[in-house]
Amino acid sequence: MKNKTYWIEWGKRAGMRAIKTVAQAAIAGIGTAAVISQVDIKYVISASVLAGVLSLLNSLAGLPEINTEHGDAE
């Protein structure tokens, strides 16, 4: 069982990864839509939020930088 410090650190790192993923997805969605001359903001927001959720779910499998730093090899 992981301690409270681990989960706080996991939350910070997973959250930062998710924020970066959301931003990347938004940039890609806006860029792609701009090429076809029609930016649908609902699509961009929806795709970006989904990317963030998927990033958090992927982080549940483990964040290598936390496992290495704390010696909690899984």
The predicted-structure confidence for 1-48, as pLDDT tens digits, reads as follows: 678 888 899 899 999 999 999 999 999 888 877 777 777 888 888 999
From the list 51, 58, 63, 57, the residue with the least C-alpha distance to 8 is 63
* Whether residue 68 has pLDDT greater than 60: no
What's the helix, strand, coil split of the chain in %, to 5?
Answer: 80, 0, 20
pLDDT at residue 74, rounded to an integer: 44
pLDDT at residue 23, rounded to an integer: 95
